[in-house]
Amino acid sequence: KSGGIIVAPGVYDGISARLALEAGFETLYMSGAATTASMLGQPDLAIATQNDFVQNATMIAGLSPETPIICDADTGFGGPVMVARTVTAYARAGIAGLHIEDQVQSKRCGHLLGKQIAPVSEFIARIRAAVAARARLPGCDIVLIARTDAAQGFGMDEALKRLKLAIKAGADVAFVEGVRSHEELARTIEELSPTPVFLNVVHGGSTPDFTIEDAKALGVKIVIFPMISAVSAVHGIRAAFQSLKTTGSDVSTAKGMGPKQFFQVMGLDDAIEIDKAAGGEAYSDL
């Protein structure tokens, strides 16, 4: 937490997760858009599957089991049975929380235009299936976040109506995707109180560039920056490749980091300690 608000940067692979942990973040967010881009090289258009998301989430959670991970779960990847399977898979992977949305199955990024919204009855069935799946898992306390994308096409009245029904069905946290102003966010927090409100901040998307302090002042309880690592990676890797073409060398882009230094960022020292504790000496001369 940062002063009563949970701040979770978006990660999508082992490198981004390691760097977020190195920076001292206490909660991470696995972005579905960035996962789709990283694993498949595709846009966020419902191309990635449940298996893709769960595989990635399991790997990220395994890097630091004590660090809570919040994950995108899209629509739950199908009807109530698939929603239940998704919740179960995430829970068994050690995920702390997930959000399920009300777009149709052929969904798209929440900050693109033209979203199609499922009937409210279908959305609430997804939430009920998630709640029931959690209840069937002994000791499971995975946090269920209800997300609505209805504000874009149907307005805030419809979006808030859907979230109120989702909360009644057992959702723990409420999430209006694409909230368009401070006023809309303040209204969401006021009308849904005491349910915690979740905020997604993506530069260039539908939502204003809220800072952590903005979100905190308005009463947001969880704020994510899902694309912060993926977009930074695009800029950094693009610049490195352009430099290689121009200079014919990787010296300037390496910035003094050799293989051992890179592996240390990836947990080399921990791996050495595990080997030593087991009586091994395989890595004593690295």
Which residues are catalytic, by number?
A: 29, 44, 72, 74, 99, 101, 109, 147, 177, 200
Q: Is the dihedral of CA 88, 89, 92, 94 positive or negative?
A: negative
| Cα–Cα distance for residue pair 108/153, rounded to 1 Å | 14
What residues does 224 pair with on adjacent strands?
A: 8, 200
Reading the block at residue 179, the tokens are: 């909230």
Nearest-angstrom CA–CA distance, 136 and 133 = 5
Report how far apart, in Å, the C-alpha atoms of 37 and of each of 58, 131, 266 are: 17, 29, 21
Q: What is the rounded CA–CA span in Å between residue 193 and residue 152?
A: 22
Residue 66 burial (10 A CB sphere; 0-12, 13-18, 19+): exposed
What's CA 174's distance to the chain center, in Å? 15
What is the torsional sign of CA 167, 173, 178, 181? positive
Q: E strand or H helix at 136, and its extent? A: helix 120-136
Question: Is the previous residue joined to 194 through a cis bond, with omega within 30 degrees of 0?
Answer: yes
Contact 233, 16 (CB under 8 A): yes
